[in-house]
Amino acid sequence: MKLLLDTHIFLWYISGDERLSKSIRESIQNFDNRIYLSVVSIWEAIVKYNLGKLPLPNPPALYLPKQRNQHKISSLELDEASVCQLTKPPPIHRDPFDRILICQAMEKGLTIVTQDKVISDYSVPILK
């Protein structure tokens, strides 16, 4: 399975947060699965960090890529084809970061790992 981690799932995973279910943790750690973190999630975390809404042990531009690499999670670049998907999904979700993750999942055939109930309203595979 090809899994795209929502930003909060990645942050919970790298911090050992107990809100992350055992089944999701095992899915991320399963070597049969290909795990991705979008550059959009890095962008979102940097924005929230700069607004004082996301405490991190080190600056996000250094800390997050290091954690992604350390946990053997692949980086997913934002490409034009994914951005063009923005014309397709209805505007159910107002969060622009989540909307582009949905579009990346649609374009790349990925399953989104999330606890965001609104994302479930889209026709994209979800692992929760």
pLDDT in tens, 70-122: 999 999 999 999 999 999 878 787 899 999 999 999 999 999 999 999 998 88
Going along the chain from its start, the domains and CATH numbers come out as 2-127 (3.40.50.1010)
Distance (Å, whole) CA 47 – CA 110: 25
Of 65, 113, 106, 112, the C-alpha closest to 83 is: 106
DSSP 64-115: HHHHHHHTT-EEE---HHHHHGGGSS-TT---HHHHHHHHHHHHHT-EEE--
Q: Tokens 């649609």 correspond to what residue?
A: 106
Q: What is the pLDDT of residue 8?
A: 97
